[in-house]
Amino acid sequence: MSSVPPSSLLDLAPVLPVVVIDDPADAVPLARALVAGGLPAIEVTLRTPRALDAIRAIADGVPEAVVGAGTVIAPAQVKAAVGAGARFLVSPGWTDVLLNAMWGAGVPFLPGVSTASEVVALLERGVREMKFFPAQAAGGTAYLRSLSGPLPQARFCPTGGIGPDSAPEYLALPNVGCVGGSWMLPADAVAARDWARVEALARAAAGLSAGGTCR
């Protein structure tokens, strides 16, 4: 299993799939489809009762995947996610208590921000990589572009309301390393276990870059 330095999480692929898994039996084939399509980093959100089981299944069954936990909002979730095999953590927001727990977990993490003050507060604490959420509702590319001038040391993974059409606009920004999204995992494809379709959509997402052309 390869290591993932904290500074490289945003550089693994242009898109970080945000995954909601109800049935852990889907976890391994879903992860294999994403990895085969060129998206090795996979954020499994802690929004379902079996999310930790899904993380554990991917960690054990798809070692080439870099599986992480999303929607982390409490220190207990940090411990449980890392114990299940999560190799990174993503939160929709942060507090000092949650931030300290993520610091102590020993894995990369992306605390969520939506204001300049939150970014400055994280920079004061030595955090340089963050999730910008909810991206579209919080100001989208215009807001992130405005942050790049006074706060160029901050890098972001914007997530929330982003699709294949808008992703290249975000990826063109100097302070965006990747974007988060779930469009390569349409509900009907997952319900039908159409992993070939998921792989094809993942491959298209992995080819996105600034301007919409393949990297």
Catalytic residues: 43, 131
Give me the count of residues in the chain: 215
- For 32, the token pair is 């294999």
C-alpha distances out from residue 96 to 69, 99, 109, 132, 205, Å: 19, 5, 14, 18, 34
Q: Are 1 and 63 in contact (CB under 8 A)?
A: yes
Angle in degrees, 0-180, between the axes of helices 96-104 and 75-84, rounded to the nearest 10:
20
Q: Taking the CA of residue 31 as centre, how many other CA atoms within 13 Å lie in the half-sphere pointing to its CB? A: 27
Q: Are 178 and 15 in contact (CB under 8 A)?
A: yes
152: CB partners within 8 A, 6+ apart: 174, 175
Report the C-alpha gap between 190 and 194 in whole angstroms.
Answer: 6
DSSP per-residue codes, 16-29: EEEE--S-GGGHHH
